[in-house]
Structure 1
Amino acid sequence: MDLSPHSTEPTGSAHHRVVIVGGGTAGISVAARLRRAGVGDIAVLDPSGTHWYQPLWTLVGGGQAPLETSRRSEESLIPDGVRWIREAAAAVDPDARTVSLAGGGLVGYDYLVMAPGLQLDWDKIPGLAEAIGHDGVTSNYSPEYAPYTWELIKGMRSGTAVFSHPATPLKCGGAPQKIAYLAADYWRKQGVLDKIRMVFVLPDPKLFKVPVWTKALEKVVERYGIEVRYESEVTAVDGARRELTITDKKTGTEETLGYDLAHLVPPQSAPDWVKKSPLADGPYGFVKADKHTLRNPDHPEIFALGDVANLPTSKTGAAVRKQSPVVVAHMVAAMKGAEAGKKYDGYTSCPLVTARDKMLLAEFDYDLKPAKSFPGVNTFKERRDMWVFKRYVLPAVYWRGMMTGRV
């Protein structure tokens, strides 16, 4: 069998010791770690020829990074000795231990890693799918629209700018407000901030989960004069009229607001085929997993991590960095008929860009307790070195460390 990373497997029936659904951050990092642990006969299912470093899209939208720096070919990241099946998964049968492919055929497995990410539900907000990418409506949650965000910010000199956060779980929970801060700081430097009304629509009663960073962000919001609509969400968009509807979740009151720029983040959920699977758990269909071992409690040969896992923590790349070694440790132990003691504590990280040269680094665990990676560094205040860390250090760590199983 040809196990070069440049080979793909034809549609049909096959069986592999480990099948990984998804070739994104979670899938590739697990595949790389398994290979480093000496595990063979691994297959990665993913139809995309492009792999994106998504955390950089906020800076693309803020005019601080070119889109191309966030892109690599998927082929270049498939670890040596791992089979790449360039097809999408369409269903999973945990009793038969098979994954159905969208193009037909089945792939059997001894162990399954669910890492297909999540889906962006543009159609869940009426009018959003029709308006996105034009009519002043944009979103950094897609590489297609992130450059348009910067076009809108750069060209705005007065008017109303609306930024939204959906009322669903989402990847990188800080991203909806980070772009607001980047825009505000740019407009401040251009001398036009006082001519722009900024509105941030947030479904939660506070800016952040962890109090110490909430206080810091409240000062940032005050500095820029941003109106925060707490416990509210954008529920409709009329691109032709350049109007949107904001609904107060407590009272049900609706307000129609005209806009000149609207950075809207779509609701998010598990991929539709995952929602329909026996592994789905909770209202958004994410995969059921033990929060410490990341194993499915009903099917212990199945693991889930990354955005698709139904865990009580923020969905970030930093979380995956801590989750992948836990998955590998438990899988390798299971292959040997043993148990692993390694546990995931819910660590996640949110680099909160608050200006064009400053950032707060929020790191915390399941208990929302700070979990600092840099002893002696005050990450509770805005720092320029943390901005440099996000813009230049983290991408290098991602490509050279996480994607090769070293970090």
Structure 2
Amino acid sequence: MNERTWNNDTSAAPMDAALSRGGDFDVVVIGGGTAGIGITASLLRRQPSLRTAIVEPSDRHYYQPAWTLVGGGAYDISKTVQPMASVIPPGSTWIRTAASGFDPDSNLVHLTDGRSIGYRQLVVCPGLRLAWEQIEGLEDTLGKNGVTSNYRFDLASYTWALTQDLKRGKALFTQPPLPIKCAGAPQKAMYLSCDHWLGKGSPDDIEVEFNAAGSVLFGVAAFVPPLMEYVRRYNINLMFDSNLVRVDGVNRTAYFDIKDEKGNVERVAKPFDMLHVTPPQMAPDFIRRSPLADSAGWCEVNPETLQHSRYPNIFSLGDVCSSPNAKTAAAVRKQIVVVAENLLAAKEERELPTRYDGYGSCPLIVEKGKVILAEFGFGGKLLPTFPLDPTVPRYLAWLLKAKFLPWFYWHGFLKGREWFARPDSTTRVP
């Protein structure tokens, strides 16, 4: 794999032919990430004759959940990326450009290259936009001056390098206001670094601080006590209502707006030797400004059926939809079945058969070799897959996170395999 080979891929040729014919697609999918490839594969496994198109400008497809492992020295970064051409489901058209807007009354998607494509049904799943620019000075210092983030492919390895190099000093880890992709990821980066420092016998020489814009360690209360045990083990200083707003990389100083109990906000400067940043996140601009968005900018859906609230031939899933579930790849795994079954039912003017229960999963890596497998649904209801206490850190959950799930992602999930994902009411496919 190399950049030249990927950029010279010719699989986009069928796209131009399809558009030149002027025909509508049965289903247009916006986004070639986890949700976009997964839903297209599942739809085609159910109805191979569907004329589908995926609108995605990137020539690379990433397995982002493993970037935390890369940042902890437990995974090879090269195994988290493949050419986009290799994951586009056979029979689907890849439109290698970006969407710029929608005309849902005319069933049209507008593209950044000036063209428009028609659809009979639309699936919206372009993911989130990482708003690095909202933190002053951050973009100028990412990847140097001790500033890193596991939320970017090219920086996860730098996180591990910083962790290995730091022998004494101050390490800051941040979490912005929610929602974000995998709300546990900022903590996982911290725990893996702390586990390394503990193993090297240098935890007393490194001051670790977790600055979270929110007021709790984790949104599902059942998992807070076991996490607090690791906070104490690693001697982590928790700073809640502390939001990163500026980074001076050259002088290795981070600035936080800290809110007190009365709501007063004070800007505080904190020196650092290592700074792991989780960026603010939002829906892409072309979604936020579109007629598909709700008042907060997300693609507006019924949270149980994932059908658009105002346009019945439109569905949405993944991080961009308005459903109040955790934004994780595990949530997408369940949502795919709901959207696939309900979209095809809507196509045939049948009652929508499947409901989403808000399932999401956050494998909380608390040390190398131990994971708390947090699985939950709407309202924080625990939804464990296995008959084990989900609050206990386990090696079995580590194997699931570090070994099985990456393999299944490339060889099963992206091929339309729906293991442990189908509600009882759905129709099974091979």
Distance in 2, Cα, partners of 1:355 & 1:256: 30
User: What code does the residue aligned with 2:117 have?
Assistant: V
Structure 1 partner of 2:171:
161
Residue 288 (structure 1) aligned to one of 297, 300, 318: 300
Distance in 2, Cα, partners of 1:399 & 1:126: 37
User: What code does the residue aligned with 1:272 have?
Assistant: D
1:172 shift after superposition: 0.8
1:23 aligned onto 2:32:
yes
Residue 355 (structure 1) aligned to one of 367, 377, 390: 367
Structure 2 partner of 1:90:
100
Aligned counterparts, 1:174-253, within 5 A = 174-249=184-259, 250-253=263-266
User: What code does the residue aligned with 1:29 have?
Assistant: G
Contact 1:8 / 1:86 at 8 angstroms: preserved in 2? no
User: What code does the residue aligned with 1:309 have?
Assistant: C
Deviations 1:359-396 (A, max 9, x none): 10000000211101011x22211111211110001112
TM-score (norm 2): 0.91
Residue 50 (structure 1) aligned to one of 40, 44, 60: 60
Secondary structure at the counterpart of residue 274 of structure 1? helix
User: What code does the residue aligned with 1:26 have?
Assistant: A
Structure 2 partner of 1:385:
396
User: What code does the residue aligned with 1:383 have?
Assistant: R
Unaligned runs of 5+ in 1: none
CA distance 1:335–1:216, shift in 2 (3 Å): same
Distance in 1, Cα, partners of 2:326 & 2:218: 11
1:6 shift after superposition: 6.6
Contact 2:211 / 2:242 at 8 angstroms: preserved in 1? yes
Deviations 1:222-281 (A, max 9, x none): 110000101211111111110011211332022110000000011000111111111112
Residue 15 (structure 2) aligned to one of 9, 15, 30: 9
Distance in 2, Cα, partners of 1:382 & 1:124: 35
1:5 shift after superposition: 6.6
1:32 aligned onto 2:41:
yes
Secondary structure at the counterpart of residue 367 of structure 1? helix
Distance in 2, Cα, partners of 1:239 & 1:137: 7
Secondary structure at the counterpart of residue 379 of structure 2? coil
Structure 1 partner of 2:408:
397
Contact 1:43 / 1:83 at 8 angstroms: preserved in 2? yes
Contact 2:363 / 2:371 at 8 angstroms: preserved in 1? yes
1:129 aligned onto 2:139:
yes
Contact 2:211 / 2:243 at 8 angstroms: preserved in 1? yes
CA distance 1:272–1:14, shift in 2 (3 Å): farther
Structure 2 partner of 1:119:
129
Contact 1:14 / 1:106 at 8 angstroms: preserved in 2? no
Residue 271 (structure 1) aligned to one of 284, 307, 317: 284
Deviations 1:139-198 (A, max 9, x none): 000101111111111100000000000113111110001010000000010111110000
RMSD of the alignment, in Å?
1.4
User: What code does the residue aligned with 1:18 have?
Assistant: V
Contact 1:5 / 1:82 at 8 angstroms: preserved in 2? no
Secondary structure at the counterpart of residue 114 of structure 2? coil
Distance in 1, Cα, partners of 2:350 & 2:151: 41
1:203 shift after superposition: 1.7
User: What code does the residue aligned with 1:175 have?
Assistant: A
1:367 aligned onto 2:373:
no
- The percentage of aligned residue pairs carrying the same residue is 40
Count of matched residue pairs:
402
TM-score (norm 1): 0.96
Unaligned runs of 5+ in 2: 1-9, 419-430
User: What code does the residue aligned with 2:84 have?
Assistant: E
Residue 335 (structure 1) aligned to one of 335, 347, 353: 347
